[in-house]
Amino acid sequence: MKIDFDYEVSELTGDLKSADGYLDCETIVLANVKRQLHNKIAVHSIESYLKQLQKYFEDKSVINKGSEVSINYTYAAGFLKTINDTPYWHHWVKTTD
């Protein structure tokens, strides 16, 4: 099964626009990652998706600089960087229910 990047981005973007601070942004991203794991997407596919997603939100935060939503995109990109830089991230994500 393949991750539909455009669909996932539209879902995340909508949720991030209404997020209230870093923890909300982290919760939104984490829920998305958990859903990918729950849908039995291969970890290597999720890792590729997360790197692409981090780049997307880094770019969106620059494009939208000065707006409120830019901060939430920055928070999301920062949390995605943490996930991407953490070996065996999928183990701790699975235990955060």
CA distances from 94 to 55, 63, 72, 81, 89 (A): 24, 33, 24, 18, 9
pLDDT per residue of the chain (97 residues) written in tens, 0 to 9: 789 999 999 999 999 999 999 999 999 999 999 999 999 999 999 999 999 999 999 999 999 998 888 999 999 999 999 999 998 888 888 787 6
Report pLDDT for 93: 84
pLDDT at 39: 93
Contacting residues for 33 by C-beta, under 8 A, at least 6 apart: 46, 50, 83, 93
* pLDDT score at 97: 66
Does the reported pTM lie above 0.85?
A: yes
Q: Is 93 exposed, middle or buried (0-12, 13-18, 19+ CB in 10 A)?
A: middle
